[in-house]
Chain A
Amino acid sequence: MHALLVVFRKEFRENLRDRRTLLSALVLGPLFGPLLFGLMVSRMLDQSLAESDEPVRLTISGSGHAPGLTHYLEAQGVRLAKSELSEGEARAAVRLGRVPVVLVIPEEYAARFTAATPAPVLLVADSADSQNRKIADRIRVLLGGYSSGLAQSRLEIRGVDPLLAVPVAVNDVDVATPSGRAVVVVGFMTYFVLFAVLMGGLYLAIDSTAGERERGSLEALLSLPVARSSLVGGKILATCAYMCLSLGFCLVAFVVVLRFVPLERLGMSANLGFGTALVFFAICLPFVPLGAALMTLVASFTRSYREAQTYLTLVLLVPTLPIAFASIYTLRTRGSLMFIPSLSQHLLMTSVLKDEPVAALDVWVSAGASLLLALVLVVLTARHWRREALLG
């Protein structure tokens, strides 16, 4: 036990002096996620806020054939740019991005309108372009409103109750809580948190294993009257300490960044204050020894610093797999999923973000499963360190 603490203290102190370790563990790892996230989300929000205020711009061709429709669109606040394009020209103009959306009114419109048969219009848009699609959607809604208003007048003139033409009235009811809506936006934040945990320990895991071998200090260390499990234990513990620091910094950064993201303006609230950050810390804590043991084990098998770096970069991706799986199948928090580390932490954090109740049993199962797997990996690492092949 004493030797374990000696190793822990030395690894902790030595890496505190290593610029590369500090940069990746305490700056890049924890801040990368929150900053990237803050930038992306505020950009997304700015865009959607700007769009809802801005008038829709529409190029209209053949407006002379439909003065009533033209007038209606203008009254609804659509900025019309009038031009004369054939259908082919309109397609080409939209495809090349010269104009966003074109409404083409063909010559036959007037005649068919007067005859009260469906009068055709062409709405030319590019649905692969999300900006474009939004404008087209709004124009489609306006056209639908114009069409149904006219239909009702026509029925009334013929002495028919226009309500007969509305057999079903659809009312939208959205049950998403303000926090719940924000989760769509904030959802992938949990990955950044787990990423910061692993980044925090990355260099220490390499330095204390492959680095020790490459430096040539391993054999001297192994010739001391110290159990190898104590050496491994101290090294993993030091890796854990750096992971905890990184996790803490990352959560604080998220709390600060989310203060500057205008979620409230969209009627959302991200349920993330310092209290929640503490809860997140507690949820992720059992993941820390798991990550540390996994990285130390993988790094112990490698021959050199570079080789260790290559393999551990892959390990950084491991926690994404269950999370990616979960988002593809839109899994909800379920007892059985709590046995899967990283996924269980992701689901618990998401629940907390959504302000949903979290079952105490789920928290215990998540922590227990992660710690159990961590223990298995620690034992495997210690066993590997007892092998002669370790010397290389």
Chain B
Amino acid sequence: MIEAMSLSKRFGAVEAVRDVSFVARDGEITGILGANGAGKSTCLRLVYGVITPDSGRACIDGMDIRGETSKARAHLGVLPHAAGLYGNLTARENIDYFGRLQGMGGDRLRARSAELARVLGMESFIERRVKGFSQGQRIKTALARALVHDPGNIVLDEPTNGLDVMAIRNLRELMLSLKAQGRCVLFSSHVMQEVAALCDRVVIIGHGKVLADETLQSIRDRNPAATLEEAFLRVLGPDEGVS
């Protein structure tokens, strides 16, 4: 479970995130929807603790990401906005590197990377160097790297950005299988259809504030006549550029 409690963050004169609270539950996919620059990435960065909030806190399975950083992170897998890989290493070496930094090693790491390769369908390319990989192969490797320590919570920042159709399809299936395994999946997007297709719960963010935090079903129920798109737009207000 991932909890954000009254998170605020200011960069100079810009209030990037203002008093943001939400909960992402286990066995659910929670989507953060917002326009570019609405504060989605900053929210997620505060959640996985690479930046410090001015006020408020974020907890992973009840552990404060700032106070008990190492413990909390051991329960968290992160796929940041830029999930670059090391081109001169093979996919397996990329995965192993993060596994070892998570304190794994030996048989446990070998077994885990073999399992990930099987589940993600990476067996044909896992021993190849990452340099010439397709987008689909890259996203699988990056995801395997984020999941190597078998975390109960996964954060993905705009994971479908720049991916082709096949890679997006792959990724959706993977996220659904993570949910089916009972994990907590939190991801951000500015694409409405994507959120609608995947999420159990939507947190809509505009100008650094939470505008709505509810299930897809309740959004539909409140606006029975409208299409889902219109329903979203009503929540966002007229001047939010969401595609």
Contacts and interface: CB of A to CB of B under 8 A. Distances in A.
State yes or no: do A and B come from one complex.
yes
B191 interface: no
Contacts of B66: none
Given A219-B50, A388-B50, A388-B52, A7 B101 contact: yes
Nearest to A212: B84
Contact of A216 (B50, B51, B84, B93): B84
Interface stretch (B28-36, B68-76, B182-190): B68-76
Contacts of B91: none
B101 A224 contact: yes
A18 B88 contact: yes
Contact of A391 (B50, B86, B87): B50
B86 A216 contact: no
B51 A2 contact: no
A388 B51 contact: yes
A6 B50 contact: no
B4 interface: no
Given A2-B103, A14-B86, A215-B86, A223 B97 contact: no
A226 interface: yes
B102 A220 contact: no
B203 to A, nearest CB: 20
A222 B145 CA distance: 13
A101 B99 CA distance: 78
Interface string A1-30: 011001100100111011000000000000
Interface centre among A6, A7, A215 (most CB of B within 10 A): A6
A225 interface: yes
A224 B84 contact: no
Given A6-B100, A216-B84, A225 B78 contact: no
Given A10-B97, A388-B50, A220 B73 contact: no
Contacts of A14: 86, 88-89
B171 interface: no
Contacts of B87: 215
B125 interface: no
Contacts of B82: 216-219
Nearest to B145: A220
Contacts of A219: 50, 78, 80-82
Interface in B90-108: 93, 97-98, 100-103
A223 B102 contact: no
A223 B78 contact: yes
A225 B102 contact: yes
A18 B87 CA distance: 10
B83 A6 contact: no
Interface string A206-219: 00000000011111
Contact of A10 (B83, B89, B145): B89
Given A219-B80, A391-B50, A225 B85 contact: no
Contacts of B80: 216, 219-220, 223
Nearest to A21: B88
Contacts of B70: 225
Contacts of B102: 224-225
B128 to A, nearest CB: 13
Interface in A347-392: 388, 391
A220 B146 contact: yes
Nearest to A224: B101
Nearest to B9: A388
Contact of A3 (B69, B101, B129, B146): B101
A223 B50 contact: yes
A220 B69 contact: no
B79 interface: yes
B48 interface: yes
Contacts of A217: 82-86
Contacts of A220: 78-80, 83-84, 98, 142, 145-146
A25 to B, nearest CB: 14
Contacts of B93: 10, 13
Nearest to B79: A220
Contacts of A13: 89, 93
A77 B79 CA distance: 85
User: Which 6 pairs between the two chains have the least Cβ-Cβ distance?
Assistant: A216-B84, A216-B82, A225-B73, A219-B80, A215-B84, A217-B84
Interface of A: 2-3, 6-7, 10, 13-15, 17-18, 215-226, 388, 391
